[in-house]
A = this chain, B = another copy of it.
């Protein structure tokens, strides 16, 4: 479980979304619970999926992504009140799986990075439960290639 590499500054993020911290996101150590960072990454991921037509594919064909793996590296605690910014992009595309990377900044901490993350998703047929090859149109959308 190596650290997520830190070439964050040079990446061309596909989605950037601001998210309000709720008071109740903090746990009894007095800072935002670590599991909430995973929810923020998910919010950015779902915005990306909407943008590239992943959700349309799911509704028309029952083909959609599942989350196979998540890694989060915590850099600094987040406290209420704050607004975080979460960015994501597809960092690798395989036959039926793809990787996404994330960076989370805190506006209350001079926009410092509070966490970086990575996930592995697999495109599956929700009826059979089996992996399916990523269609070319989706592959191009993931890579930000305009039609």
| A interface residue numbers (CB < 8 A to B) | 1-4, 17-20, 22-24, 26-31, 33-36, 38-40, 42-43, 45-47, 50, 66-74, 80-81, 99, 118, 120
Contacts and interface: CB of A to CB of B under 8 A. Distances in A.
Q: How many monomers of this chain does the complex have?
A: 4
Given A26-B28, A46-B23, A69 B120 contact: no
Nearest to A126: B29
Contacts of A81: 46-47, 50
Contact of A74 (B33, B68, B72): B68
A74 B80 contact: no
Contact of A80 (B1, B34, B46, B70): B46
Nearest to A69: B73
A70 B38 CA distance: 10
A66 to B, nearest CB: 8
A45 B81 CA distance: 12
Contacts of A26: 27-28
A2 to B, nearest CB: 8
